[in-house]
Structure 1
Amino acid sequence: MELWRLFVAASVPVLKVLLLTAVGSFLATSRVNILVKDARKHLNLVTFFVFNPTLVYSSLSSTITFKLMVSLWFMPINILLTFLLGSLLGWAVIQITRAPSSLRSLIFGCCSAGNLGYMLIIIIPAICKEKHSPFGNPEVCNKLGLAYSSLSMALGVIFMWMYVYNIMRMSLSKKTTEDDEINGIPEVTPQPEALREQTSTMVSGSVKLITFLKKMSGKANLKKLLAPSTIGAIIGFIVGVIPPFRRALTGEGAPLRVIQDSAVLLGNGAIPTVILVMGGNLLRGFRGSEIRVPIIIGIIVVRYIALPLLGIAVVKGAIRFGLVHKDPLYNFILLLQFAVPPALNISTMAQLFGAGESECSVIFLWAYGLASVSLTLWSTFFMWLVS
């Protein structure tokens, strides 16, 4: 009976995501024809430049404090491990399936980057409201859960745009050939035979070093390290942890609360917009693509079997060695970070680059279709494990 109650509590937020996804798919059908391709692309741009950064900012600034950040110091390490372990498993999928080079970055992205923001912000409050939730008082659970989820989302955004974006950009961007061009390398003038033998190794090494550094600087696209969501996270951290800024912007008596309220209004549009667009994109998955079935199976196994099992080992090990305090809700979120489906921003990146969209749609069709079962089962097990 206890497991059944936990199962019911875990299934509610997943059903909400499925309903919104179904609405997005319906709006994108040829009969309704509202969420057409151009509309989804423009909504993605609005989400990228407006909704995402304001959601990250408003969530962090209103919930994160310096004291709370200190107590949650293990979460960045936990999220980093999800990316690193996911990347290693993604590399294994590529080797086993012999995936074509055009899909390797997409596989890396789907395996390494999980939906660390939207899913948690949807799941945690819904679970806290359930009568059979193991996390105690609903109001306290909701407040702490929002703080934990906001930090998870902010860290996930930073890792996403600093790491996954540049990996995907290397092979999905249509301008990779321009990025790979090396200009300005000095030519080596002919030298006498005596000197040529002594300096050939030095010249060759220096040219290779210059070439490598220019390739990396071109591919890294350092400007994108400060994507709008990353900037929103930085500002949110500053406002949250510095008391004068926090008092000026957050709270009912804050003199500049209109700024905070406006950010909250804009940020509230992020989650429904992204899920609706995802629902529209999933229709492309029904039409199929050239992606092979073993690749899809590999990504599903990584995200819904291998990573959650590794997550249990990581979190339980951290608790055992005293690295994580025994807060059931905090432990639950750390575990859940290993079990979420691929990040929705991967689809956004594919659309921004204008490549890999059909393959991404097929992957997301299966990943989010199975997430309704996987997330419910893992959430039930994780709640039992921490309670």
Structure 2
Amino acid sequence: MDKINKQTRPIFPFTAIVGQEEMKLALILNVIDPKIGGVMIMGDRGTGKSTTIRAIADLLPKIEVVTDDSFNSHPSDYDLMSDFVKTQIDNSVNISTHSIKVPMVDLPLGATEDRLCGTIDIEKALNEGVKSFDPGLLAKAHRGILYVDEVNLLDDHLVDILLDSAASGWNTVEREGISIRHPSRFVLVGSGNPEEGELRPQLLDRFGMHAEIRTVRDASLRVQIVEQRAKFDQNPYDSIKEFSDKQSDLKQLIINAQNKLPSVKVDYDLKVKISQICGLLNVDGLRGDIVTNRAARAFAAYQNKDEVEVNDVKQVITLCLRHRLRKDPLESVDSGMKVEQAVSEVLF
């Protein structure tokens, strides 16, 4: 390994993670199409949630950003630029760029709204007439991943802000009549343990996907996971080297899928069937229909297909709908099973 790699903290390779296929698929689809709306990962303690999320961020190709810009602005995509960079481009000012790793931002549970959104220096604005803005975590997460561990314990007000920014792609800070906005498009990943309480249904519904993970019960698989982790802890650079080919292959698959995504089609009849399933399950609103269509297209692109097939929908629909069903405390059927039953009725 070269010196640069050895100076940075080694990250457990994504392709070395054993099991938890549902969580891995949800994360891959969200990085292929961030407009899916993020993923909520609920599961037992010690099941590798944080490890997997850091690993997917480390796997992704570097992104090109405008130098001396606090918002990771894209040099050519208007939707991903700050207003400052847009003004420079409109005035034909030459901008310089450099490459950075995809931002991976952790939101601590005790974070304040100012820490999340950023702050405006009112004194400077009044005395010098200059808009001075200290960017928050939403600015740092632009074009990257924002991870909230134990999101079900986070203040509802902050969860609302997070979900609004994730949906709109912008963060607006207003104080004393001064308003500043900046792009904030990121993949929102929340994780939590159901024992510590569920997220409110109206907030949960706004996560694109919901992955459930359970502790592996198979003894031989548990041994494999323990050995894999022990090997990495003993010599992380050897472990990274061992999986470098698999990492490169998966990275290329994701890049190819991102490029292919705009051209992937969904047949009208299949769209109707997706909506039939949502209707059968009494899913409120249209978010379930929209997300399932997006996720199916992302999955088809990941499989290098030009058109979404029935099987692509089957692979993703439970992830997209299980958290949108109305909870009946007296019902013993798992929400994932209910989705599968509805799918088997509509998609033969």
Tell me the TM-score normalised to structure 2 length. 0.29
Where is the helix percentage greater, Structure 1 or Structure 2? 1
Q: Which has the higher contact order (CA 8 A, sep 6+)?
A: 1
Q: Greater Rg, structure 1 or structure 2?
A: 1
